[in-house]
Structures are given as structure tokens and as C-alpha cells.
Structure 1
Amino acid sequence: MSDPTLASGPAAAVIGPYRHEKTLFTLIASLSVLFWVLLTLGTLGIIWIYMIFIYLFVLMAHSALISHLKGNAVRITPRQFPELHARIEACCQKVGLERLPESYLMTGDGMLNAFATRFLRRYYVVLLSDIVDALEDDQEGINFYIGHELGHIARRHVANQWWMGPAMFLPLLGSAYRRAQEYTCDQYGAACCASLASASRAMAVLAAGTRRWKHMDSQAFIEQSAGTGGFWMSLNELTSEYPWLCKRMARLHDPKASTPRRHPLAWFFAMFLPNAGPGGLVFSMLIWIFLIGMLAAIALPTYFEYTQRIASAPAFAYAETLRSASQRHYESTEELASSPAELGLGPAPEAVKEVLMDADNGQIILSLEGNEKIIQMPYVDEDDQIGWNCSTTLAAAIIPKGSSCESVADEKDAEARKGEALGKLFGL
């Protein structure tokens, strides 16, 4: 069943957006379009094949919420909660919506909220019962929540979120645009209320709860915003998608209300914290922890291999020296040497713990730390020329570039040794 078209009624109110919303929208939209164009060109359009699968996944995931609403929440109709239905209908006309969204009332289990969503081109508005029950003594205040959510629909915040999503992750910009949306929709909510007092009481419920809101002094709450300019409050707001409630109350009363400037140092740190949605600063930090963890997982093994390769380079060079010296000694004396001293070589590098030279077959074994070995084995080819096979128990990635040695290490053993070394690095 399609959403019913509203009958003609009073002219829609003129509701202006929050002063920064249009500017932020232009920036976010431009960056998002640029992102999609570059991604399309960079992947030769293949990205849109993946987008089909992503869309199907999101559709199925979102269908869980819609199915939950249809199966467990109570749909608001002229027959079911007619007074709420009349309020929604009047608010739609007030904000200029031609079609009535499908609306539901459901228990919030103590949550004080309402939300709007979209599924298969149809809009939904959900009111949580705790909000409705809390305003039993000022039911006109319910219009504030209805109007706020309808504002997200009227301003196309819900419809645009998918294609503007990439730029919404940007530090400062993404969260600033979402906060601007909230300020704008508060004005939509106020426009649907019979009085500013009712809108204030509705917002007071969010701050003071379902009972104490009746005794809350709105002006005193507005004055709390004077303390929002400190470093920590500034940083947490800059990384949040929601403004502080005391500031929302101030701008509800006066859209141009002046509030304290945010701390300059908070702006600096917020520049490096991506917008992580409702989670704010905590989720932004988790994103960094996740990224650092991924980079560490890639970089640490590479760094370990690099340090091992540098440390083992003198041992491989010494093995080459032993091989050449041993061959020259045999060609001149027709005897195989049994020690480096016999070849006139000095002490082995620090990386080499022991050198064994077999005077029977010419094999040279260099023992390294961790029971690793470099083995040089001579052979005679078809032309009666002496050749050498070099093998090592070290991983292939640790063998210096240019070396003729081949690794005979089992891949699993090499990974286990790498893990053991990393464990020692971190004292595990």
C-alpha cells in the first residue's frame, strides 16, 4: 500500500535551515560526487557491480528493522491512535510534505527518542512510547518530535545519506553537517508546536527525563551552554553528530543564539579524528586503533624481516668468502680445508656462532643464533668444474638480495619463528 497523499490544508510554514547547513551540504555533496566519479573512473565502472551487492546486503539488513516495526510496533492510523495520526497529518502539512509517512508507535524500553528512516522509497517515522507518555501533560510537545523527524524527510537528510556517505566520514565536516541537520530539524519541530513553550518542554524531556522535566528551568539550562567551550567538551562535540542539548535549547529559542567558541586545541585534534557516527570521540579513537592495528600487522612482520636480513647479511657474506677461499685452497693444494684458520681467514662475524668444515666432502656449515644454519655444499659438474649449492634454514624473506642461497625452511616453521621473535620484541 502506497503512502496516502494528504488532502490540501493550510499552507506550509516557511522554515529556514540552520545557517551553516547549506554551506556544509555543498561541501559534503561536492566531495562525495568527486569521490564517486574518481572511484568510477579508477575502477572502470566495476565498482557499481560491487555496489549492487552492497545494496542488496544493506537492503536485507534494513529489512530486519522494517519487519520488526511491522510485526511488533503499532501502526498509527485514523483507527489506531487517531489523535497521534491527526498530529502527524497536521505536521506533514505544516512542513510541506505531500505524502504521509508510514508511522509507528513502539516501546523504547526507557529510551527517549524518535527516528525517521527510508526503505524501498517509502518513509517511516517511529515514535517511542516513553516520549509520548512523558508528554501526557503537554501533548502539544509531541508535535516537536514529529516535526523534527519530518524535517529529516523534508530536507532529504534520509534520502541523501547513502550517496553522501563517503564524505560524511571526513573529520570535522561530516559531524558538523549532522549537527547542522539536528539544529535545522529542531526548527521544524518548533514550527509544528503551538508554542515555543511546548517545544521547550519536549526538549526538556530529553534532558531531565520523563518526570523531572516538569520542574526544569529552561533558561537556566540554556545558561549551561556557557561551559561548553572547554577543551574536552569542545573535542567531544566536534567529533559528535549531535550538539549539546543545552546548545540545542538555546538555538531553539533563538536560531542565532551566540554560544562559546570551541577550544582551538580541540579543533586541531578533531582534524585527525574521522566522523564515526553516534559513537563520537570513543568510536573515532577506535577507528584509529583499528587502523594502527592493521598497519602494525602489516608493518611489524616486514620490519622484523628487514632487521633479520640486515643482521644476517654478514653471515651470508662470510659464507661466500669461505666458499671462495675453500675452492682456491683445494685448487692449489688438492686438499680440503678443515677450518677457517687453515684458509688464513680472520674471526667470523658476530652473527656466526660456529663454523664446521668437513675435510672429507668440503661441506661448510655456519651455525647462527636460534639454531639456524647456512650450508655450502660443493659438487663437480659435467665439465669437471667445481660448483656450489647454498641452502639455509632461514626464511626466504631474510636472505639478502643478490645471494645465491635458497631457503629450505618450512613456511609454517618460519612463521612460528617470526611470531616467537615478535613475542620477544614485545616482552610476551
Structure 2
Amino acid sequence: MAFDPRLRSPKEQPLFIIGVIFSAFVWLGMVISIIGLLYGAMIFLGVLMAHALFLAYVRGNGVRISEQQLPGLYERVKLASRKLGLDEVPDVYVLQAGGSLNAFATKLFSRRFVVIYSDLVDNCHDVRHLDFVIGHEIAHLAAGHLKWKALLLPFHLVPWLGPAYSRACEYTCDRAGHHVVGDLEASMRGLCVLAAGGKLTAEMNLQAFMAQREETGGFWMSIYELVASHPYLCKRVAALAELEAPGSLRPVPRSVPGFVLAPMLGVAAGGGASIALVIVVYVAVVMAAVAVPAFQEYQEKAQVAAVAAEEEAAPDAWAEELPAEDEEAE
């Protein structure tokens, strides 16, 4: 059983194709450049080591759920995995994170992980809200988002398109979470837990929260979202409502000046780590852009040198043959 393609956001696949083509050219440029390949390998090893160390922290300090450890939660993970077509249940850990309401899926080589922060579990007073969170994270694995993450790394940093692809993936996973839950209001309130916490979620007016999306078309809100990996929560809740009743909600256009200036003014929203990553990939792209013309120039010079060498060798060959002809004449 595979991931149901009907759950994918309409924008995800077209952006994915663009991302594969763009990223393939970037990586090819780095491979052609020996220096770029060396730096790329160093960056890859550094990121791999940091990720492995982080997962070591999670595995040593978090609680890995299983049939013997928190079996009720483990059964919910198994059910979500089965509904979304995941062949094997991933390693799921519950981790205390200082009050943060978050969860994420990740991968190390072929091993798949889902980490759920304990405060998010505590704030899901309705177990269906937790099912939505679990389904959302399982979907990242089932839909193959992490499978292509390394290849698409350059594309993620392309202004407008990279973040748009990431947001499309989040919409896909929201649809998958709703598919696991099977109840629209419960799915919508599962997202609301991330906004208001568990105590207030049951009291929230969903219509009023969805109406907040009307403000997201403003200048600064457009800039922030256009560089963000996740859509605004009020828009995500509205997207679920639109999924159940297509055409029921009016799209909110973004600010045109905000759209144009987002790559420049939105850098501050990404944080230091994102800026550093942008710089690393930018350097790699520049090196590739320099290396490809340099390689072509080297090939041209080598061809010219080869032709010149042949021309220099030709008179010598003629001179060597000349005495032999004279001897025959004698």
C-alpha cells in the first residue's frame, strides 16, 4: 500500500519537478568543480555528524514508544502508519523540550524517526488532536518528503519557489493528518493546539480563527510567509475547511510589494542557521558557476595546444621521410 496521491497538495508535484531539475544542475556543477566537490563533501559530512549527534541526544533522553512502552500511543502510531501506506512503523520518541508545542519527522540513512515533544502530547486533550499530529508527521515519511531532502537542498534556498515547495508539503501532511482522523473539526482543532495550547483549543471559534487569514495579505505578513517553511496556522485550518467544501473560502492575495521584496527583507525571519545555510549554498553555486566556464576554457586550450603540437610535428615527420626518398632515387 502506497501513499494516496489524492492527499497531495496540488502545488507540490509541479514544484517538486522544478526543484529536481534545478538541484540536479547545482549538484552537477559542484561535481565538475573539484574544489566544489571537496567543499560539498565536507559540508555533507558536517551536517551528517551534527544530525547523528542530535538523534543520539533524542535516543538517549527521549522515551521510545513500543508495545511495551506507552502501548496506547504506539497503537495510534501503527494505525496512522497503516492508513498512510507506510510499510514499517518508524521509531517514535517522546521528548521533553521546555514547553515547546512541536513535533517533527526526520531520517538518518534508511532509519526513520518521529519526535513528539511531551508538552504537545499533554496539550492534546482530545486524543483525535494527537492523531492529527501523528498523521501529519507520519505523512512526511510516507509521502517521501525526507527521501528527496538532500537532493532538493539547493532548491529549498531558491527565493519564492523553495519555501513554496516546503509549504505545499505541509499542506499535504495536513490533508494526511485529516485523513487519519476522519473528522474535520477534530483535525482543525488539532492544528489549533499549536496556536493556543490544549486548554483554550476547545473554546476557540474556528470561523473567527479562519477569518484571521484576511490579514495575511498585508505587506509584512506576506514577507514573513513567503520565506517561511510553514504556512500560517489560520490558513492551514482554512485549507482543511476548503478541502471538505471546495470553493467555500475566498483566496487571500498577497501584497505585491511584499512579494517582490520578500527575499531581501525576509532574511531576518529565517534566523541565523538559515542565513548560514544560504551562504554555504550560495558559495557552492558561485564556485560551480566559475568552475564550469573554467573547465570549458581548459578544454578549448587543450584542443588548441593539441592542434599546435600536431602542426609542429608535421614538418619533422616530412624531414625524416625525405632522406629515404633520396636514397631510393639514387
Same fold per superposition (TM over 0.5): yes
Q: Residues 225 and 259 of structure 1 are in contact (CA less than 8 Å); yes or no, is this contact kept in structure 2?
A: no
Does the residue aligned with 1:160 lie in a helix, a strand or coil?
A: coil
Deviations 1:335-382 (A, max 9, x none): xxxxxxxxxxxxxxxxxxxxxxxxxxxxxxxxxxxxxxxxxxxxxxxx
Aligned equivalent of 1:21: 12
Contact 2:30-2:37 at 8 Å conserved across structures: no
> Do 2:3 and 2:142's aligned partners in 1 also have CA atoms closer than 8 Å?
no
Query: What amino acid is the match of 1:83?
Result: G
Change (3 A) 1:217 1:174: same
Partner of 2:21: 30
Aligned pairs for 1:156-167 within 5 A = 156-167=144-155
Q: 1:68 to 1:284 in 2, by over 3 A?
A: closer
1:267 aligned to which of 252, 259, 262: 259
1:281-334 per-position Cα deviation (integer Å, ceiling 9, x unaligned): 6669967xx89xxxxxxxxxxxxxxxxxxxxxxxxxxxxxxxxxxxxxxxxxxx
Gaps of 5+ in 1: 1-7, 292-428
For the residue of structure 2 that corresponds to 1:126, the secondary structure is strand
Residue 190 of structure 1 corresponds to 178
- RMSD value, Cα: 2.7
CA distance in 1 between partners of 2:161 and 2:87 (Å): 31
Distance 1:231 1:50 in 2: 38
Q: Aligned AA for 1:269?
A: L
- Aligned mates of 1:87, 1:17 — CA distance in 2: 22
Alignment of 1:28-427 (within 5 A): 28-41=19-32, 43=33, 47-136=36-125, 138-255=126-243, 257-272=249-264, 280=269
Separation in structure 1 between the aligned mates of residue 202 and residue 10 of structure 2, nearest angstrom: 31
Cα offset, 1:214, TM superposition: 1.6
Larger radius of gyration: 1
Which structure has the higher relative contact order (CA within 8 Å, separation 6+)? 2
Q: 1:224 and 1:81, CA in 2 relative to 1: closer, same or farther beyond 3 A?
A: same
Change (3 A) 1:15 1:77: farther
SS in 2 for 1:182: helix
Give, in angstroms, the shift of residue 273 of structure 1.
6.0
Letter in 2 for 1:168: H
Contact 1:112–1:128, Cα closer than 8 Å, also in 2: yes
Question: Does the residue aligned with 2:251 lie in a helix, a strand or coil?
Answer: coil
User: Partner amino acid for 1:34?
Assistant: F
Question: What is the number of residues matched between the two proteins?
Answer: 276
- Say if 1:13 and 1:177 are closer, same or farther in 2 by CA, change over 3 A: closer
3-state SS of 2:202 partner:
helix
1:72–1:283 distance in 2 versus 1, CA, 3 Å: closer
Q: What amino acid does structure 2 have at the position aligned with 1:172?
A: W
CA distance in 1 between partners of 2:196 and 2:217 (Å): 22
Q: CA, structure 1 residues 172+156, in 2 after alignment: closer, same or farther (shift >3 Å)? A: same
Using structure 1 for the length normalisation, give the TM-score.
Answer: 0.60
CA contact (8 A) 1:15 1:95 kept: no
Deviation at 1:37, TM superposition (A): 1.7
Structure with more strand by fraction? 1
Equivalent residues of 2:3, 2:143 under 8 A apart: no
* Distance change >3 Å, CA 144–CA 15, structure 1 → 2: farther
Amino acid at match of 1:260: V
Amino-acid identity (%):
35
What is the aligned partner in structure 1 of residue 286 from structure 2?
A: none
What's the CA shift for 1:72?
A: 0.7
Instruction: Return the alpha-carbon distance in structure 1 between the equivalents of residues 77 and 271 of structure 2.
Output: 36
108-117 vs 45-54, greater mean Cα deviation? 45-54
The structure that is helix-richer by fraction is: 2
Task: Give distance in 2, aligned partners of 1:50 and 1:285.
Answer: 18
